[in-house]
Structure formats: structure tokens, C-alpha cells
Chain A
């Protein structure tokens, strides 16, 4: 089920919300309600895969009890067993077909298997489950005695299919002791509507341009203008799509009293790729940092070769996490190379060439998204070369897309910078009475208009792609 769907907005959410608050007198009942409806939310997309989800919950619950035992040796064995088990599930559903295809291609094996369908959000909930086990092993959290609560942590519907990846440490206390407040409810509601509007108005419109232009590029020549329009549209689409989902997830979480960490912080204003990754999909970067990079030794090793090795492993894993395709591996390696380059030349610490560094970063980000979006490495190569005019320059089609979507392009670029954040700061700062009055009246009005516009886009049945199928 998508947040931006009629079923979610007009049936599922209002029902769950009302039911949840009707049982305000009992936290355990509220948690069970959230768990059951989270499973329903997941089952709605592909009912059979709810069994994978329940299996994952039970597997991690029992492993959690083992890992939480006083016997450290036993705990370590269970930890390793659990991590291998979680990775195995991920491998079977996400990477087995890809691995066999490559082995068959290389002539190393001579059999193939039927296509295995990918359970939506498997990478997200598997990483959350691993976070639980590792946190329990490290002693930073207690093992849960109640499987329903672990089930809720792993399957909680707001962040189930597209994150943010909530580390167990962040939420363990909240499962039982969270407090619903009017402040959380109000911030969460506004945040959800903002995310919904970002998704349906900006991300989905940019998706039309990106999907159409990429499809055209695959079947014909790619003049430079078309290549740039496709690339920029996708760069904007993926940001608004993903960050909008995070906004909606964080907002929904707040509406039920949960507080998740932020997942995006205006990544496109970065002046280096290193900074970009502190601002983009923060929950994933933090996960890899806490559970892979630091355990490998991180950057504090004297042996710089090992630092490079650690970075390589993390970026290889990041690439593979995103999808079973060589394009994702190459995308990970591209990021690895850029981050290495920036470390080597101390790009981040430099105070010079601020504008140029921004241009470089945006250019690199756009290139990276080409690998991410392309169906094959050869196509990505063609696309990148086309940016420099290898297949002609002028494209009337590109002009048509710019003409038709100019308003959304402007909106997207405008909201890629921290304009909303600065407006909030402006509002809470001590301004003149009239300015304050104006914003205090305009804000609720603007939010209601955003809700109405979002509903119009959704109920009309406008283009509403789901970008996370591969994740």
C-alpha cells in the first residue's frame, strides 16, 4: 500500500488513527493494533510476503533472546548465526537470480531457476532487524521478551517500505514509553501533508519527464539537451520521491507518538560528495557507519590502506544494498572513488572555490544517478557521453518537456534548497507583529491547499510510480 493512494488516505489511515486513539488507555493494545495493521499494510501489496515478514520477526525474536543471554560466547554464536540468516534471506530474495545469471553467463554453472519476486522493502526491514540484534549484543538495548513489540519495531507501517531505517536504539524506549502529544500530532500532521504534496506534485511530475526521456533515449538517439533533461529530472525525482516518503514516514510516526531521526537534510546544497552523504539517506549512511564501517576500524586506523579497504567495503555494500545489478555496484564504486578523491585532496576542509565545489558536487551527483537509473552499464555510458553532445545537441523533445514542466522544475529546484527551514526559522524569530500575523494565517491556509492539491492529484489517478521496488 502506498501512502499516496486512495486506499491509504481514505480508508486505512483514518481507521487506524481513530482506533489507535480510542485505545489510549492501554499501550499494549495500541501496540498490537499498530502491529496488526502494519502487517495488513504490508500484506496489501503482495499478501504471500507477509509470511516472510512474520518469519523474519520470529527468527529475530528468538535470536534476540539468545544474543541477550549472559553467556557472551553463546551470544556471539547466535549473533553470527542471525546475521548470516538475515543476509541469506536477503540474498535469496534479492540477489540469487542475479548471481546465478552472472554465473551462467560466465559458464561456471549450467542451470537457472525461476524468477524470485522481491518482497517490497526487504532491505529496509532486514537491516532494521539486524540493528536490533547487534544493539542487543552490544548491550545498548535489552532483548524484547514480547514478540509483538519486536514485530512492531520491524514492521511499523510508516517506515516499513521506504525507511527511514530506524535503528533499534532510537526507538526501543518509544515502543513502550512513547508519549503522544499535541505538539507531535501537529508537527507530524503538517509534515505528512508536506511530504504528500512533494511526492504527488513534484516527484511524480519529475518521474513523468525522467521515465519518458529515459524510454526515448533507450529507443532512439540521445541529443545532449534530452540527456540533460532526463538526468536533471531524475535527480529531482529521486530526491523528492525519497525525501517525501521520509517526510510522510516521520510525520506518521509523530502522529502515533514516535520520533524517528531525520533522513534527508537538503543534500543538493552540498559542496562535496562526502557532505552529500551526510545529508542523503542519513539513516542508511548511519547504519553502515555504525554496523559496518566502525566495526571494520573506520577512519581512525593508522594504516591508510585499511581505511581505503573499509571505505571500499562500505561503498560496495551500499551499492549492492540498493539493487541486484551491476549498475548499482558501479554507482557504489563511483561514490567510493569520489569520496577517496575528496579525502586525498582534502576537498571538504578547503575554504576556497565554494561555488566551484558546489558545481562539481552537483555534476558528480547527476552522473551518479545516471548509473543508478540506467538499465545497463552500457546504456549509462551512452547517456553520459550523450551529455557532451556525442549524439547531437538540440532536441525539440527536450524543449517540449522543459516547456510543459517548467513550473514543476522551478518548484523542484526552489524546494531543493532549505527555503522551508529558513521560513520556519524566520517565523519563530522575533519579527514584526504584522509579518507574524501574515504567516500565522497563511501557513494553515497553505497546508490546507497542499492537502487539497494532493488529494486532487491522487483521486484523479495521476501518474504515481513506486521507485522502491528494487530496494
Chain B
């Protein structure tokens, strides 16, 4: 009996030392940041009703060695052969690619978003602008992606079908990338990142070439007549192997999801840009060559592996989702284009800018002005709505209530 309690005592000693050491390390690393963040919210200790929730939120966010703990969690899920992770936050398809999971009974209703695009189209009648709707692919590639039986299915593609049918009925031009990309020559497994919901930069580049083809055909244009700007030979492709964890991979860790290769693509030819991003609280300005003005180098220069792999490299292009961005290509006299977009179109837009004199991107989630008024006053040659299937929700189509 004495030995039994000695064993328990030894075990308790180990536990308390490990536990309290972890707590002290956590405190040492995060205490100052935690208080600063809480102070920034204004919910100080005296705000008795708000302080606990604020404290909990930031305490959960900043935990000592959080990535290692996420990796441990992911490792355990992998040991248990699980294809869903953390209450169906993420599910794995049969090829090991991660997907955000949605338990849905059928496609979403698209009436509201169709009406929003129709209103935009009507508003543009009084201008020279031509409206085009783009449909980037969903990560669930029809006929390609498969899941183990009964894992939740989102019906995003079916929602996209409904939306495009409605566009057709209303006479609005639409370019559907979904089927086309399957015949693009890009292997289906390389169309999307394994650990991110975005398509790869190579897919974005292909989308740019396909978009030019389609715009030329639909509007009888002559963009890039000799195929110079769409020729991959005129671009640098630099691949960083196993260097990227996407948004879903950052939730599950490398052990569970693996890591993605990330390819940066930028022109070999001479370019000269001015980039301006405006947000309610900050602005970003840069200029120079494509790779200086439109790509930030920081995510590719981090020495610390854990930090590097967790940095969002996809948003190295155009610095991600900004409220409104203007890209001026000082060496082109091509069309002026407004793109109302989500994150899926960001790198594609960077490539598109090589044939445009100006591209403006508006993210409806963050832009606080009236988008329709802006589109009319901007007198753009083309207005493009590019929202991918998962985002076909009213939040992304709020054009004129602000």
C-alpha cells in the first residue's frame, strides 16, 4: 500500500511540475500581450460584465506552444483514423484534402443574391461597363472529389449551378471555371491546396489565361493578341516545397494534414505598378515591379519553420483581402476593370493586371460605401463579379444598402 501511494505521489509531483511549468511559461510569454489586447478592447478589470469573456477569448487565442498542442491533437485524430476533425470543423476527402464541413440538406436559396447581381446589371445599363460573372471552382470538384460515405456534403456546387442558371435567364454573361479547369491540364490533385480552401497559384494563373480567352470571345476583344502575357514561359515559377499550411491545415496541424508546396509566379518581363489598398483603419501603398508592388516577400523569408509554415502565403498576393484595392499598371493601356470579389480571385487578379491599365478590387464584406454607385462613377470597361461557390451568400452580394 505504501508503494502504491508513493507511486501516486511521484505521479502527482510530475503532473504538478509539468502543469505549473506550462502555466508559468504561458504567463511569461503571453501576460503582457494579453493585458495589452484586453486594454485595447476597453474591457478592463473594472468592466466587470465584459472582462471575463474578453479575458477568456484572448487567453484561448494566445497559449504557449499552441502549434505543438494542435499537432498533438491532430496526431491523436490521425491515430484514431478520423476523417472529421473537431466537431466537423474540417473533413478529409479520400485523397487527404481538407474541406470545411457543412451539414446541408440541399443547395442554398439564391434569389437574394441573383436579385443583387441583376440590380447591379441594370445600374450598369447607363454606362459603357460590361458585367461578367465568374464562377471559380469549389474545392469539391464534381466527378473528382470523393468522401467516405455520409460525411457532410455542402451542396455548394449545386448552389452555384442554380446561381449560374439564373444569370443565364437574366442575360448576364457568366464564365464557369469549374468544368474548364478539369480539362486545363492541371492534375486534379493540384488544382487546390490540400490544407487550404483556396486554389493553387498555378490554378490562378490558368484562370487568368482562361478568363482572357473567354472575355475575348464574349466581347470580341483583343486582349493579349500574341499570347505574350498568358505564356507561362514569360513567368518565373518558384516552388517552396512543403512550406505551406493553409487555413484548414492551421487548425489541424501538419501531422494530420501534411504540408503543401507553394509556388510563387511572377513575370519575367518588365513591369511597373502602383498598388494602393484602403481599409477603414489603415492604408497600404507600394510601387515597383510586379513582385515588389503586388507580392509581399515576408512570408517567404521567415527563418523559423513553425512560423513560416503557418504564415498565409496565399495572401502574399495583393496582401489578401482588403476593403478596396487599386492596381495601376503604368506600362499598359489595356482596359480598366472593377472586380467585386472574395479571396479566391486575388492572385488571378494580380495576373490579370498585366493586361489592364487599372484594376480595382472591392471586397463586399469590408467595403463600407455603395458599390453600385462606385461602379457607375468609375466608368470601368468591365465589371466582374467573382465569388466562389461556398461564398454564394448575401454577405458577398450587399452592393447598395450602405
Contact = CB atoms under 8 A, between A and B. Distances in A.
Q: Do A and B come from one complex?
A: yes
Interface of A: 1, 5-7, 9-11, 14, 18, 43-45, 47-48, 182-183, 185-190, 193, 208, 212, 216, 219-220, 396-397, 399-400, 403-404, 407-408, 424, 427-428, 436, 439-440, 443-444, 447-448, 451-453, 455-457, 459-463
B7 A460 contact: no
A440 B87 contact: no
Task: Sort chain B's interface into a size bin.
Answer: 35 or more
Contact of A427 (B4, B22, B55, B56): B4
Contacts of B24: 14
A297 to B, nearest CB: 43
A20 B63 CA distance: 25
A14 B105 CA distance: 47
Interface stretch (B145-153, B306-314, B372-380): B145-153
Given A396-B149, A448-B11, A451-B15, 15 more contacts: A187-B8, A187-B12, A189-B16, A190-B15, A400-B151, A440-B7, A443-B7, A443-B11, A444-B11, A448-B14, A448-B15, A452-B18, A452-B72, A456-B70, A462-B86
A198 B9 CA distance: 21
B69 A460 contact: yes
Contacts of A182: 9
Interface in B1-55: 1, 3-5, 7-16, 18-20, 22-24, 26-27, 48-49, 52, 55
Contacts of B63: 6, 10, 459
A212 B27 CA distance: 36
Given A399-B149, A461-B60, A462-B73, A444 B14 contact: yes
A186 B72 CA distance: 26
* Residue from A397, A448, A452, A459 having most chain B Cβ neighbours under 10 A: A459
Given A47-B49, A455-B22, A456-B69, A400 B12 contact: no
Contacts of A462: 73, 86-87
B148 A186 contact: no
A397 B7 contact: no
Contacts of B13: 186
B10 to A, nearest CB: 5
Contacts of B148: 400, 403
B65 to A, nearest CB: 8
B21 to A, nearest CB: 10
Given A455-B22, A461-B60, A428 B1 contact: yes
Nearest to A446: B11
Given A6-B60, A400-B148, A189 B105 contact: no
A459 B52 contact: no
Nearest to B85: A462
B80 interface: yes
Contact of B73 (A18, A185, A219, A460): A460
B167 interface: no
B59 A11 contact: yes
A10 B87 contact: no
Contacts, number: 137
A190 B8 contact: yes
B15 A447 contact: yes
Nearest to B84: A404
B66 interface: yes
B326 interface: no
A45 B55 CA distance: 12
Given A404-B83, A455-B69, A397 B52 contact: no
SS class, residues of chain A in contact with chain B: helix
A157 to B, nearest CB: 14
B122 interface: no
Interface in B74-95: 76, 80-84, 86-88
A119 to B, nearest CB: 14
A7 B87 contact: no
A186 B5 contact: yes
Interface of B: 1, 3-5, 7-16, 18-20, 22-24, 26-27, 48-49, 52, 55-56, 59-60, 63, 66, 69-70, 72-73, 76, 80-84, 86-88, 103, 105, 148-151
A459 B66 contact: yes
A443 B14 CA distance: 11
Contacts of A187: 5, 8, 12
3 A-B pairs with least C-beta separation: A400-B150, A189-B12, A186-B12
Contacts of B103: 212, 216
A182 B230 CA distance: 74
A463 B56 contact: no
Contacts of A1: 52
Contacts of B1: 428
Most buried by A among B1, B8, B26, B149: B8
Contacts of B8: 183, 186-187, 190, 443
30 contacts: A5-B56, A7-B56, A10-B27, A11-B23, A11-B27, A14-B20, A43-B48, A44-B52, A47-B49, A183-B5, A183-B8, A189-B16, A190-B8, A190-B12, A208-B88, A400-B148, A403-B148, A404-B82, A440-B7, A444-B14, A447-B14, A455-B69, A456-B69, A456-B72, A456-B76, A459-B63, A460-B70, A460-B73, A462-B86, A463-B87
B299 to A, nearest CB: 24
A444 B7 contact: yes
A193 B18 CA distance: 12
B15 A7 contact: no
B191 to A, nearest CB: 26
Contacts of B83: 404
A223 to B, nearest CB: 12
Contacts of B56: 5-7
Nearest to B70: A460
Contacts of B15: 189-190, 193, 447-448, 451
B62 to A, nearest CB: 9
Contact of B150 (A7, A396, A427): A396
Contacts of B59: 6-7, 10-11
Contacts of A439: 7
B26 A10 contact: yes
Contact of B149 (A400, A408, A459): A400
A18 B23 CA distance: 12
Nearest to B53: A44
Nearest to B6: A440
A185 B10 CA distance: 11
A446 B13 CA distance: 14
Contacts of B49: 47-48
B326 to A, nearest CB: 38
A460 B66 CA distance: 7
Contacts of B55: 7
A212 B86 contact: no
Contacts of A18: 20
A424 B7 CA distance: 11
